Structure 1
Amino acid sequence: MVSSNDVQRLFLQAIFSRGFLSEKLAMTLWTKCVEAVKAAADEALDIPNDGRAAWDDFVAKINASLDNLDLEFRHLHDELTGRAMYALVNRKGDEVAQMATDYTAQEITYFKAIVEQIMLAPNEAYSVSSFAALREVNALKSNMTKTQAENVLGSFVAKGWLLKSRRGRYSLSTRTLLELYKYLKETFGDDYILECTICMETLTRGVACYTANCKTRMHYHCFKRFRRQNSTCPACKHDWPQEPDAKPLIPVGEGAVKDGQDEGRRRVRRKDTPEGSNEEDEMDDDEASQPSQPTQTQTQKKKSGRQNAASMDVDDDEVDDYAPRRRSGRQ
């Protein structure tokens, strides 16, 4: 006998076949499922399917039914557009393992290596150049050729696991941030995972307050909405005039790195210390054999980089053109 519970079954079948979808599409599927169940029922069924409250209640019921399977129908806002995106995600185990249906173990290892370089990128750049991404194949001592690596990278982009910008830099997609959040959280921790001050969601591209040591980070779309009604930083209360070029803001994302800046760098990967904590460092190729203690010249270079960042302006129409900033977790 047809009942209102059949709406959940039909809806889950629909999202299983689509995987990653926008909120608009998800709500359209929900409406279609309700209409189908009502049409098939022998008697009139009262199934709310209009309004935000009804949708939120339906999602809560979906997640309650999926709880025993350690699955969740979760949403996250796209960092560039601000649109809500939904996916059915695994809340248990190594979430990257779900890529095994599309990729070999070697390709998944390559993907993890690229994600590591993106997450550990200096100055909160959260991106890696094409050159550096291909260089990871040699770092892994893989038998994958350059052509094969380029094809795999193209597949990661085509299937929505990575984004590739017009500058040729790779960054994490909304799908990866949503479906692999547990993996990212457990692997890199709070020092490398930023949260937007406004929406409290994961942030890998946006803007940061120009005040030294201020921890305010905002998605660009969150910042634009916030600035319409507020003229001060929500944390340090320093003045944020309405005109975007009146005061410099600091970039988070690929705008924090100049073209070619990371192509001459060699990553020293994180390693476990005797105390069980993680360390990670980076150096230029010609510094690889030098002692780990920073020299006075290196310290001056870092200070100069921070001073250059303070002179950059934000354009309301450009999301990525910002200047570098030091990672807040290390301050």
Structure 2
Amino acid sequence: MVQAGDVRKLFLQAVFSRGVLSENLAKVLWKKCIEAVKAADEDVEVSYSNDPEIWDEFIESINISLNDLDFEFKSIQDELDGKKLFAMVNRKDDELAQLATDYNGVEITYFKAVVEQIILARNESFSVSSLAALREVSAGKEKINLTKSQAEILLGSFVANSWLLRSKRGRYSLSPRSLLELLPYIKSTYTDDIIECTICHEIVTKGIACKRDNCKARMHYHCFETYRRRHPNCPACSLNWPQNVTDNGLLPVGELAIRDGDDGSRQTRGSPDSDSDEEMEDEPSHTQTKSRQTQRSQAAKKTGKSRNVDSEEESEDKDGTDEEAEDLPPPKQRK
């Protein structure tokens, strides 16, 4: 017998077969599930609505049904364009369970090593070069049983499956899928190494930072734009801020923050940013801070970001399969 609850079951089946969904695509799937149930029994009391509150109630009902399974249908805003994305998230943080269906133990170990270098990247760049990523095959305490060629293919697979982003400069960073599905692992493993947005309190790997020494203000691009429309000053130190992200007066967080030589040696957890067991460069903290500001201003060149998330057009595919991701426009250029 067809019931209204079957909409939820169909929706979960559709979601589990995908990675990251745009909010629009998720709503299209919800509508299609309702239509399928109504087609089976038109007397079932269920209907589609564009009302945001009805959508929120449906998501809440989904998550209530998933409580005992330690899963959650969770949303995040894309760090580059601010669009809302959804994914099914395993709330357990002890293992990278989401990767286990596609990768073996050695491959997951390598993925974790690359993620660590992304998180620990110097100067809040939260990205690594291709060479630095390949170096992780033999640079860790335990050698990973992969050749450089195998690691290169594996990196391509991580990008194709939306676990990592690869920019046009060839740098790897965390994807929306990783920030959603692996966030419990990232937060529990790198508690002292991640930074949070001053406005939305979510993790920031691409965005802006206040240029004043020792100020802790960090924001996503979209959070800055929303905040700056009403407030002229930094919320942490009250420094007068520029009107736009493209104006001078802000520091980048993410790939634009990279400096020459930042990938020259690998970072290890628990080591200061300017000191490590493996030939790190020494600079006085004041000099390092000033250099960071100068270098970040110079680094503000166009850089492409690739992303691998479901696009809204995917909902029109007859077979329901995901399209390949396309490059996003680069973050706004800083002068």
**Bin for the TM-score computed over the shorter chain:** 0.7 to 0.9
Superposed displacement of residue 196, structure 1: 1.3
1:319 paired to 2:317: no
Aligned to 1:166: 168
Instruction: Report the structure number with the largest CA radius of gyration.
Output: 1
Q: Which has the higher contact order (CA 8 A, sep 6+)?
A: 2
Q: Which residue is 1:28 aligned to?
A: 28
**Separation in 1 of the partners of 2:88 and 2:56?**
15
Q: CA deviation at 1:36?
A: 2.1
Indicate the residue corresponding to 2:73 in structure 1.
73
Answer yes or no: is the 8 Å Cα contact 1:241–1:247 preserved in 2.
Answer: yes
CA distance in structure 2 between the aligned counterparts of 1:101 and 1:44, rounded to whole angstroms: 36
Residue 298 (structure 1) aligns with: 282
Seen in structure 2, the aligned counterparts of structure 1 residues 310 and 98 have a Cα distance that, compared at 3 Å, is closer
The 1:195–1:83 alpha-carbon spacing in structure 2 relative to 1, beyond 3 Å, is same
SS of 1:176's equivalent in the other structure is: helix
Any conservation in 1 of the 2:275–2:282 contact (CA below 8 Å)? no
What letter matches 1:158 in structure 2? A
Q: CA deviation at 1:31?
A: 1.1
C-alpha distance in structure 1 between counterparts of 2:16 and 2:7, whole Å: 14
Q: What letter corresponds to residue 242 of structure 1 in structure 2?
A: Q
TM-score normalised according to structure 2 size: 0.82
SS at match of 1:265: coil
Deviates more, 1:17-26 or 1:235-244: 235-244
Q: Which amino acid aligns with 1:308?
A: S
Q: Check whether the contact 2:4–2:45 (CA below 8 A) recurs between aligned residues.
A: yes
Deviation at 1:98, TM superposition (A): 2.4
Which one-letter code corresponds to 1:11 in the other structure?
F
Aligned length: 304
Aligned twin of 1:293: none
What is the CA-CA distance between 1:200 and the residue it aligns to? Answer: 2.1
Shift of 1:243: 5.1
Provide Cα deviations, 1:74-113, integer angstroms capped at 9, x if missing partner. Answer: 1111111211111111112534132122112111100000
C-alpha offsets along residues 250-291 of structure 1, whole Å, 9 cap, x if unaligned? 111111112x42332143x33xxxxxxxx2246789x8489x
Q: Deviations over 1:155-206 (max 9, x none)?
A: 11111111111111111111001000110011011x2122212222211110
CA distance in structure 2 between the partners assigned to 1:52 and 1:319 by the alignment: 29
Provide the residue aligned with 1:184 in structure 2.
Answer: 186
After superposing the two structures, state which structure 1 stretch, 69-78 or 309-318, moved more. Answer: 309-318
Q: Provide closer, same or farther for how the CA distance between residues 243 and 124 of structure 1 changes in structure 2, counting only shifts above 3 A.
A: closer
Alpha-carbon contact 2:198-2:219 (below 8 Å) kept: yes
Equivalences for 1:124-143 in 2 at 5 Å? 124-140=124-140, 141-143=143-145
Does the CA contact (< 8 Å) of 1:216 and 1:234 recur in 2? Answer: yes
8 Å Cα contact 2:20/2:176 also seen in 1: no
Counterparts of 1:15 and 1:80 in 2: how far apart (Å)? 23
CA distance in 1, matches of 2:274, 2:46: 64
Please identify which structure carries the higher strand content: 1
Matched, 1:144 2:146: yes
For 1:158 and 1:289, locate their aligned partners in 2 and report how far apart those are by CA, in whole Å. 33
Q: Which residue of 2 aligns with 1:256?
A: 257
CA-CA distance at 1:226 after TM superposition: 2.4
Matched to 2:286, the amino acid is K
Secondary structure of residue in 1 paired with 2:185 = helix
**Contact 1:266–1:282 (CA<8 Å) still a contact in 2?**
no
CA gap of 1:159–1:288, structure 2 versus 1, over 3 A, is closer
**Is the contact between residue 231 and residue 242 of structure 1 (CA under 8 Å) also seen in structure 2?**
yes
Partner of 2:98: 98
Looking at structure 2, the residues matched to 95 and 261 of structure 1 have their Cα atoms a distance apart, in angstroms, of: 33
CA shift for structure 1 position 20: 2.0
268, 271, 276: which one aligns with 1:280: 271
**Structure 2 counterpart SS, 1:73:** strand
Shift of residue 318 of structure 1?
5.7
In the TM superposition, what is the alpha-carbon distance from 1:322 to its structure 2 partner?
6.7
Q: How does 1:172-211 map to 2 (within 5 A)?
A: 172-189=174-191, 191-211=192-212
SS at match of 1:195: coil
Deviation at 1:50, TM superposition (A): 2.4
- Which residue does 1:119 correspond to in 2? 119
Alpha carbons 2:256, 2:301 under 8 Å: kept: no
- Report the counterpart of residue 229 of structure 1 in structure 2: 230
Instruction: Give how far 1:221 is off.
Output: 2.0
What is the percentage of aligned positions where both structures have the same residue?
51
Structure 1 vs Structure 2 CA RMSD: 2.7
* Displacement after TM superposition at 1:298 (Å): 2.7
What is the one-letter code of the residue matched to 1:157?
V
